[in-house]
């Protein structure tokens, strides 16, 4: 069974640009969550999608957005990039969200903003 796949793995953008990251969940998983990891900050929750609907959202500005497609694949977009957006962006999938559900992570997308 293939794991969670994220593309691209590495990318460099300049301030003010926008970026789109892609995530393919484990087959059969309908919940997709996105996290940002920066040094010393752990994993910060961005948002979670289930059946194409955003169910939960973390404390990130509106520049961070996402969507989920009918095949459960998800994308996240960051507009007007800032230097502080440089981080590892992790996608995770599970059968469903919430109690009792283990989430499984992809390898992540390393974003560097210069």
- Exactly one of 8, 16, 61, 98 binds other proteins (CB under 8 A); that residue is 98
Cα 72 to Cα 16, 30, 46, 83, distances in angstroms: 29, 6, 17, 30
Binding to other proteins by residue 56, rule CB under 8 A? yes
Please report whether residue 102 would count as binding other proteins according to CB under 8 A: yes
d(CA 47, CA 27): 20
**Residue 58 near other proteins by CB under 8 A:** yes
As a whole number of angstroms, the distance between CA 88 and CA 9 comes to 9
Name the region of 56 (left: φ>0; alpha: ψ -120 to 50; beta: rest).
beta
Residue 106: CB minimum distance to other proteins, A: 5
Applying CB under 8 A, among 35, 66, 78, 85 the residue interacting with other proteins is: 35
In the set 28, 40, 62, 84, which binds other proteins (CB under 8 A)?
40
- Cβ atoms of 58 and 65 closer than 8 Å: no
Q: Could you tell me which stretch among 14-22, 38-46, 68-76, 77-85 binds other proteins (CB under 8 A)? A: 38-46
């Amino acid at each position: 069974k293939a794991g969670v796949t994220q593309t691209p793995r590495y990318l460099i953008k300049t301030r003010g640009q926008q970026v789109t990251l892609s995530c393919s969940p484990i087959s059969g998983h309908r919940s997709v969550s996105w996290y940002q990891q920066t040094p010393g900050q752990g994993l910060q929750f961005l948002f979670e999608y289930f059946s194409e609907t955003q169910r939960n959202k973390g404390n990130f500005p509106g520049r961070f957005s996402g969507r989920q497609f009918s095949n459960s694949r998800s994308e996240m977009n960051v507009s007007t990039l800032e230097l502080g957006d440089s981080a590892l962006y992790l996608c995770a999938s599970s059968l469903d969200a919430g109690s009792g559900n283990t989430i499984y992570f992809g390898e992540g997308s390393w974003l560097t903003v210069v």
